Amino acid sequence: MSEFSKLKPVARAYVVSVVVFGAIVLAASGIKLYQEPLGSRWFVLALLTLLTGSFTVRVPSTNASLSVSETFVFASVLLFGPAAGTVTVLLECLIILFWMKPQGKAVHRVLFNMAAPAVSIWVSGSVFFLVSPVPAQSAFTLQSLFLPLAAFTALYFLLNSWLVAVAVGFETGQGPLEIWWTNFTWLSVNYFSGASVAALLVTYIKDLDLSALAVIIPLLVVSYLTFRTAMGRVEDSNNHLSELNRLHLSTIETLAMAIDAKDQITHGHIRRVQAYTVGLARHVGITEQKLIKAIEAAALLHDMGKLAVPEYILNKPGKLTNAEFEKMKLHATIGADILTAIEFPYPVVPIVRHHHENWDGTGYPTGLKGTDIPIGARLLSVVDCFDALTSDRPYRPRLSDDEAMKILFERRGSMYDPLIVDTFARVYRDIAPSPPSTALPVQVLDEITSARRPPRDSGQSSFDEIAASAEEMAAMYALGRALAGLCGIRETGDLLAKHLRRLIPFAQSILFVYDVRTDELEAKHGFGELTAAVKGMRITLGERLSLNNSRVSEFR
């Protein structure tokens, strides 16, 4: 399938319209020049256009170029009319395309890049002679030329740049205004400087001979060198900023992946969510690049607040208690608060803070409702849920995509934005992430995920490890033999504490017994100084104890 056929119907219609109009304008201009020959002076301008068209300066971070040949395009219009200017700009386009190697470009792009300037110069030139009191091939004065030429130059620049910006917008999905402002405002300098030199040319030089060239060529050389030096400095500055930006993002990405590795249950989650969310954002019609970058960063960092959530909650194999869930809910606010220390140039923090808000206002942390929830947060919440449902959990296997989509539709309009759910259901297979390539070495992630295991002594020999292992086995064997035949809580608790203390240092041990009548755990026996404070305490399943000096409090 060709690039042109991949465009949307409205984009194809737009490109065809500009190309057809450009072909008509070029044909009419060619016929006019054939019927009314312009003489040798125009051929000198055409030759200078071909010569100087190869001296281009690329504008950094764009596909646009500056060329000093614009001077002769303006001069052709002023001296010989719109038809001559249209043919001249065609020559300029041909030489620029030749230097830019059009062999690798699609045909419709080449035709559009020739038609757009031709249409722009013909329209603006025609308007110029409608408002200017001086006909073509007549004597000009700077006083009479100043205002009409400024209007002519501005109209030519706006027409040419906007024709291209709209075409790029159709192809990329970005807004034409953003494209124009980012990529084409630089070009206005080239247009107005070319018009200024052209004004001097047509006002003071009657014949384009060698003496005229001796005056014009140095001006053009100075303009070219000035542009090249300025653009070189801008490009160096942009490269430096890009390197700093890449370093900044790489550091954040590495931190996010380390946090992701800490959560053993949802390992790899953020990478998948990031790919899904950015793809979904484009399909719901988001074109603003700052917002896209904000969504990309927020998807990567949305679980930053898990730094403040205890690991036993993150990795708990069962359902969280109410107290544990309240603790888990804090990760959205804490993550956003952490990120406020980073001066992002786009709105990352609101997306992280509100990615657990619900469409009907029942979410957290602030209970936002409907479109008050940032669009990035609405996208992230749908994707976050889908990835959780389609991932394995200790308490359930992963759901199929169809089962996960069924749950999303059940929550459509209550938890999630209906438009986003509908769009995600239509495109999730197309935007599915490829297998992740981690930026952290595998051994680093393994160390993070296994950090809760006791560290090994790097200086310990293999014989020491074997001896330690044998000692552990002997202790467990002795414990098993000792427990045989015991049935009392007190004796069992004391025996467990004494044998386990050989393997695991501790200050207090507590033996809980399950009470089937109340569905609770009761502390029946303790070994240590805090036994009196703990004995008899009851907790529900899933809760834990935190001992602080002589005070015992529940930790949920």
Per DSSP, helices labelled H in 390-457 are 401-410, 418-427, 442-449
Omega before 505 within 30 of 0, i.e. cis:
no
Domains and CATH numbers, the chain: 3-236 (1.10.1760), 263-449 (1.10.3210.10), 472-555 (no CATH)
What values do phi and psi take at 551, rounded to 5?
A: -105, 140
Report the run of H or E that residue 59 belongs to, with start and end: none
List, in order, residues 6 or more apart from 475 with CB less than 8 Å away: 499, 502, 503
267-279 pLDDT, tens digit per residue, is 567 888 989 999 9
Higher pLDDT, 359 or 85: 359
In this model, does residue 438 exceed pLDDT 50? no
Q: Give the contacts of 316 (CB within 8 A, at least 6 positions apart).
A: 324, 542
Residue whose pair of structure tokens reads 């159709």 in the numeric block:
170
Higher pLDDT, 305 or 547: 305
| pLDDT tens-digit readout, 127-186 | 888 877 655 555 566 777 778 888 899 999 999 889 988 988 887 777 788 778 877 787
pLDDT at site 447? 52
Length of the chain: 556
For the full predicted model, state whether its pTM sits above 0.85. Answer: no
If 0-12 CB within 10 Å is exposed, 13-18 middle and 19+ buried, where does residue 67 land?
buried
Strand partners for 388: none
Cα 445 from Cα 157, distance rounded (Å): 54
Alpha-carbon span 310 to 454, nearest angstrom = 18
Name the phi and psi angles at 357, rounded to 5: -75, 150
Comparison of pLDDT for 103 and 282, the residue scoring more? 282
Residue 383 in this model has a pLDDT that exceeds 70 = yes
Virtual CA dihedral for 239, 243, 245, 249, nearest 10 degrees?
Answer: 150
Cα–Cα dist 165/294, whole Å = 24
Band (pLDDT 50/70/90 cuts) for residue 553 is very low
> Using 50, 70 and 90 to split pLDDT, how confident is the model at 209?
low
Note the pLDDT tens digit of each residue in 362-382. 999 999 999 999 999 999 999
